[in-house]
Amino acid sequence: MGEILASADIGSNTAHLLVAQTDGRTIERLVNESEWLSLGEVVSREKLIPKELEDRLLQTLRQFATLVRKSKATRFYIFATEAMRMAQNHSEVIDRIRRELRLKVDLIAPAREAELSLIGAQLDCPGTYPMLLVEVGGGSGQVALTWGNRVDQERSLPVGTGRLIAESGLQCPTRPEQLKKLDELIDEALHILSDFGSAERIVASGGVARGFVRALHPDGDRQIHRQELEYLRWQAQRLGEQQTAVRFGVKMKRAETFVPGASVYLKILERFQIQSMTVSEFGVREGAILSMFWDRI
């Protein structure tokens, strides 16, 4: 039957809980809940997590802990990524979570984030060839050149959707000067990939990429082509978030990520001269679940 385990990711767009049953090879999701907090965008503007957002985060984690207890999970691992890393008051926030909720939060490094994402993505995107794993979140973009289950090179780039929105002043409908600033920010960030080797395919993980699948492929096809991303970006940049959400059948907060998110993935496809990417259904939380089962956490 396997073991029931729980992982929660305090990400830069959402806080997300996964409770799953696993035998170490497959995963069955039992609870899959998220709360949109926009930590990446807020921290990019204010450099810290303000009190009202801190309160919302604690309330979300309190609700997650209740769900975990009801699920009878044997272990509960909570980790935080780029938005928490960027926040000047992250130590105080993590300490408050420990004091008030009796929950430990692991502030993981970008390299560890890439490792967990790869473990999760291999559930449906296995391969023994050079593969580029990309996860664009709200605060950063994790890019890893992988071979099988090994991460050969990895970089954390300042191209999270919330961060780009804050730094470019991006709005939808989008003005030309905002798009120009957005492209400049992405181009500057991607220079750090100049020493990366070539890849045979690109696998995208995380909520931003899965939002593309929901918007573009109601049939669930997980292969996204460059022309589809160009179309999605063009539509989203000329429409407001509400109209974009209605047109593509997604939540408005997810629609806000389409212009910056598609822009980042398009430039990565161009940089590695690849015409499409596969979007994994799995990622960092599933990687954490499997790592717990294997006693690597």
- Give residue 150's pLDDT: 92
Averaged pLDDT, 256-267: 98
> In this structure, are residues 44 and 185 in contact, taking their beta carbons and an 8 Å threshold?
no
pLDDT tens string 18-27 = 999 999 999 9
* Residues 47 and 163 both lie in one domain: no
Percent of the chain with pLDDT over 90: 96
- Give residue 127's pLDDT: 79
pLDDT tens string 197-246 = 999 999 999 999 999 999 999 999 999 999 999 999 999 999 989 999 99
Residue 122 covered by a domain: no
pLDDT tens string 100-130 = 999 999 999 999 999 999 999 999 999 778 9
* Residues 201 and 258 both lie in one domain: yes
Distance CA 75, CA 7 (A): 8
* Residues 134 and 274 both lie in one domain: yes
- Give residue 295's pLDDT: 87
* Residues 102 and 171 both lie in one domain: no
* Residues 262 and 150 both lie in one domain: yes
* Residues 79 and 145 both lie in one domain: no
Two tokens, residue 192: 């750090």
Averaged pLDDT, 251-274: 97
* Residues 162 and 77 both lie in one domain: no
pTM of the model: 0.94
158 prior amide bond cis, ω within 30: no
Two tokens, residue 88: 């000047």
Q: Measured between alpha carbons, how far is residue 250 from residues 42, 102, 216, 242, 281 in Å?
A: 22, 35, 10, 10, 17
pLDDT tens string 157-177 = 999 999 999 999 999 899 999
As beta bridge partners, residue 77 has 7
* Residues 41 and 157 both lie in one domain: no
* Residues 274 and 147 both lie in one domain: yes
Report angle CA 119, 120, 121 to the nearest 5 degrees: 95
- Give residue 112's pLDDT: 96
CATH number at residue 14: 3.30.420.40
Q: What is the DSSP letter of 192?
A: G
Q: Indicate the pLDDT class of residue 92, thresholds 50, 70 and 90.
A: very high
Domain range enclosing 150: 127-279
Q: Is 130 helix (H, G, I), strand (E, B) or coil?
A: strand
Candidates 65, 64, 105; CA nearest to 83 is 105
Domain tally for the chain? Answer: 2
Residue 81 in this model has a pLDDT that exceeds 90: yes
* Residues 216 and 76 both lie in one domain: no
- Give residue 128's pLDDT: 75
- Give residue 1's pLDDT: 64
* Residues 32 and 141 both lie in one domain: no
Q: Is 103 helix (H, G, I), strand (E, B) or coil?
A: coil
pLDDT tens string 140-153 = 999 999 998 899 99
173 prior amide bond cis, ω within 30: yes
Residue 78 covered by a domain: yes
What is the CA 12 to chain-centroid distance, rounded? 7
pLDDT tens string 55-68 = 999 999 999 999 99
